[in-house]
A and B are shown apart, each in its own frame.
Chain A
């Protein structure tokens, strides 16, 4: 360790302190990477801003009535493009619906689809990545080729085709279709990250030691390899959540996502497009909410990744 590294790590227990007995300083306990990361996170402004934004959006999704008492579906053509009045802070759209209410209620579908799709991607990615990384050999080759194939298909195109296929039933509102589509197409990055983490952990000495002590594959995977691979995986999933929300909006915008009576930011943006010259409000407000939500999740993932990155210490 060079002098400079010693300086950079200048935070050890002070051996130069006076020789009377010291009570155990909190600094003396070895800090885990997670502990260090949490301390860094707590200090990061980005983390707090992102968390607050996420909390607000979650509240909007779970309890929209907290934010507005209006009914987003009570529209009257007589109010078409009417300016803001009363509690309709953002005015009315081309159907005469309360833009503010629609925007608030739109959060629910976005979050729901985003979370479920990400969960699905996470599970698939975990299984594939863990399997490929841990077992190696044929399993790895096969799974990696499979990942290549899925990656070879342009995402948006596959999503469009799939969503269209799955929402063929005119009665469905498309939520399941979009969720499955995004879930099934989005797991590749997560799987790759998990795979490389597992491969890196697998070769560590502590795994060899555990195996020598008689640990079977399941225990090795659960107790020893997985915990160390989890950090990057979580970061990828957080960012994936952001992009899934954006993708849902994209699909809805194209008319392939949520349909029927569903309220979604993507649909709102799509519908508002044609009238943008006369009434920009219905385009702008859902756009801002959508962007802010996606931003919040990506910022969160960023902050967590920076906190866990040992190279930035």
Chain B
């Protein structure tokens, strides 16, 4: 097990460097004039340009820039955005919001997916099951660019149940609608996996044995089937948490939530290289760590899996 963790950590390091390198390359190769993009319409004097170019190493060869960046990253210095703000500060402001949003989303999604999924799995082919299948199918296909604006229109504006935008320091209630929207993107798959897993496990031989042992139906399903069925779902939920944090760009944009995705999108738009790479680096790390934790959890849940 120890060797496995070490190997995974090494792979994570490799993946981290590879991913950040690619992002760095994408952002910086063939770059237009970022300083001009930043300044917008106002002209930049030669001396200002000179100073900024030096400070951001914009004249150095690409690999050198990458080296400077990585060095900074590994010493905890995320650098400065082209707007002048320290990226670490921007992150400190943006991350808590995104984390809260992601957590509320996953709680809603997991709760609904598990409950409805288990019931659907037990009663396959029932009205409840078919209805849930249809709803999840629709949810799966509704792109978030459709879901978010529509939800905002219907529940925020027309019905007025929730505030249509969240704003700078959103309360939990204000985050509910965006969390619901965000959660529904992962809910559908989680529900289906739960349903399939429960249905498959109900047909297992050990269920027959459990019944032959004179156990009650509640115990057979509630203890024996559930413990087996939840393994794939729990790991999926773990992976989804990682995905939710990085994928909330549209939701944050529509509902005006100043989280990681929102900042990132703005950074891409303004060609703020340091900002983009800084935020993406953190996202990559989060994603990798979450994946490792999920794999370890999988081994903890299923005794047949023992990594070497």
Contact = CB atoms under 8 A, between A and B. Distances in A.
Tell me if chains A and B make direct contact, with any CB pair below 8 A.
yes
A284 B147 CA distance: 11
A269 B283 CA distance: 28
A311 B265 CA distance: 44
Dominant secondary structure at the B interface: helix
A266 B145 contact: yes
B26 A161 contact: yes
Interface in B132-174: 137-138, 140-146, 149-150, 153, 157
B283 A154 contact: yes
B292 to A, nearest CB: 12
Interface of B: 11, 14-16, 18-19, 22-23, 26-27, 29-30, 32, 137-138, 140-146, 149-150, 153, 157, 200, 243, 246-247, 249-250, 253-254, 264-265, 268, 276, 280, 283-284, 287-288
Interface in A269-294: 269-270, 273, 276-277, 280, 283-284, 287, 290-291, 294
B157 A294 contact: no
Interface string A208-248: 00000000000000000000000000000000001000110
B193 to A, nearest CB: 13
Contacts of A149: 14-15, 18-19, 22
A84 interface: no
Contact of B287 (A152, A246, A254, A277): A152
A223 to B, nearest CB: 33
Chain A at the B interface: SS class: helix
30 contacts: A145-B15, A148-B11, A149-B18, A149-B19, A152-B15, A153-B19, A153-B23, A154-B246, A156-B246, A156-B249, A157-B246, A157-B283, A161-B26, A161-B27, A162-B26, A165-B30, A168-B30, A246-B145, A254-B249, A254-B250, A269-B146, A269-B149, A276-B149, A276-B153, A290-B143, A290-B145, A291-B142, A291-B143, A294-B143, A295-B138
Contacts of B250: 156, 250, 253-254
A249 interface: yes
A246 B145 CA distance: 8
B15 A148 contact: yes
Contacts, number: 125
Nearest to B243: A154
Nearest to B188: A298
Nearest to B254: A273
A276 B143 contact: no
B11 A145 contact: yes
A253 B247 CA distance: 15
